[in-house]
Amino acid sequence: MAYLFKKKNHGRYYLCRGVNKRINGKPTCIGVKSLGKYDEFATYFQKKQKMISIEEQVHFEYGLSRAMHELTKQFMFEKIFQNNISKRTKDKYLHSRILIMVLNRIIFPVPKSHIHEWFMTSDFVNYFDLPLEELDKHKIYRSMDLLDRYINDVQEDVAKSILIMEKINFDMLYLDFTNQETYSKNEDSEILKKGYNKRKRFDLRQVNISLNCDAHSGIPFFYKSYPGNMNDPTFIKQYAPTLRQHLKSVGWEKRTTLIIDRGINGDHNFKMLRHNEFDYIGGLKEDDFPQFFNIPKRQLRNRYTKYNQQGKKNIIHYHTQKENIYGTEHLVIIAYSNEPDQKKIEKIKEDLQAYESACIKKLEEWKKDIAQKTFESKINNVEKIKKELKKINKKLFLLLDFQITSYRFELKWKIQKKQDEYEKYLDQMNKYVIFTNRQDLTPKQVMDYFYQKDKIEKNFQILKSNAYNYKHIILGPMFHKRDDRIESHVATCMLALQLYQIIDYRLKKKQISLTTQQALAELRKITCYYTKLENNPIPIRHINSLTESQKEILQALEINIFN
């Protein structure tokens, strides 16, 4: 197939003719010939415009699709899919379909059944070596079934590739957990279960997801889907040996420090982590270690400066001491923030309001019960009533003043906020207790890692956002019913998330002020046009000129979209 294109040489553009030929099933350029200066051709056709008739003109999104495809080539995604999946099956196009599913998640996420339609709107359709019938939805679902089977091998090979290309290591990893609700009603599913949902969708089944990310770059590695009703401590007990095996499989034999959430507590959990060659930085809960939270603020004489995402600084006052916790000595840091966390304050207000509403609802029920059953009512005195209200939420019970009277089988109440207790509770919320078994780290290093947990939270934010906030990846809503397809959907989203965060990391290294969202939007503007002229069998292919911003982005990503 012959085609025309514009090429820059020594500061001037020339019109060139290229010839492609399929070699071993792939389109390969076998010859390029310069036809002359592009400006001269443009001038000639302008003069002859009355003689020229355009039969057809079509355009395709080009820049973002081509850039993301080139990025996957750098990290050998297609080769990894081919080696780990296609070679184990008789489907020679399987690796290409999986690659297209991953590319779709970062370019323009659509349901798996609409992949074919999206593909036709991209310039992929003009150069991807894949028959269009291979994107039939049934073959897409078949690819998902097989991806789930070999996802661990794929994870490890992708991790190796990223480690080499980005020159990072697994010395420090953030580990955190999230969940994603689904509209599937599959009651036989092993992973779709009802559990604690972070978005309060307790009416829906969900899948839990664990994720690691590098503490320096924020690039995610090693994810795992597991039942939606399994709590974090139970899961980490099962997953720690698997994570250690992943690290060894990619050649990382050293110890790894996990920066973890306060949800993983207990002597057995931390002994298990140390047994699997993990160190850790985490937080202690007030219920388990009240002695640290009761240390007066006047004893917190050291100062640490924390900066938020907007660059605003917050002074943290802290005190350090060494304590024997969970069977070994730890560095313990008791810290107090002068700047209250507004999100936490709003959350407390919402929780307190919800608790008060729950108490009033119960009191209304008991009022009816007492009126109807009199002496036979199980709730027949004020102390018993208060005891039952305390069971609903022990902490919040202490923040409210319950004035309850019961006289002649008539129940009355008045509920007020205890302002002193409330202020004290908010003040206590600003206190953190951080601990680590890494005795070689300074308090500042420990706090640096602990307070940069937003790197792992940013990954979850991108994954779970909707199309109004982020136009890429979009993990949910999920409508898949089968467990293998749910896990494959999560896998394609995670692979796309790795690409997204690699872009973010490279932009920051080059000190480019654009966000990843803005950079992808800029690349999306690069369009490819095909113009068919009358009496000319060869369409003219033209790509709009790049802006300086687009050139800067491509340079930072080390990508050439004009190969």
- Map 99-146 to HEC letters: HHHHHHHHHCCCCHHHHHHHHHCECHHHHCCCCHHHHCHHHHHHHHHH
Residues 6 or more apart whose CB falls under 8 angstroms from that of 238 comprise: none
Give the start-to-end residue ranges of the domains of the chain.
152-289+319-326+440-498, 342-427
Q: Which amino acid is at 383?
A: E
Cβ burial of 149 (10 Å; 0-12, 13-18, 19+) is middle
What was the pLDDT predicted at 312?
77
pLDDT, averaged in runs of 10, over the chain (563 residues): 75 79 72 78 62 69 92 95 88 91 93 89 84 90 89 94 93 93 86 85 89 94 93 90 95 94 82 94 89 88 83 87 92 86 81 91 86 68 86 89 82 89 80 92 94 90 75 82 90 95 95 93 89 76 87 93 78
Cβ burial of 81 (10 Å; 0-12, 13-18, 19+) is buried
What was the pLDDT predicted at 240?
94
CATH of domain 152-289+319-326+440-498: 3.30.420.10
Rounded CA-CA distance 387/395 in Å is 13
- Residue position matching structure tokens 């080769």: 79
Helix orientation angle between 483-509 and 516-524, rounded to the nearest 10 degrees: 100
Q: Which amino acid is at 551?
A: K
| Cβ atoms within 10 Å of 240's Cβ, excluding its own | 21
Q: Which of 398, 400, 399, 406 has the alpha carbon at shortest distance from 382?
A: 406
What was the pLDDT predicted at 52?
57
What was the pLDDT predicted at 126?
81
Apex 366 CA angle, 361 and 368, nearest 5: 100
What was the pLDDT predicted at 25?
64
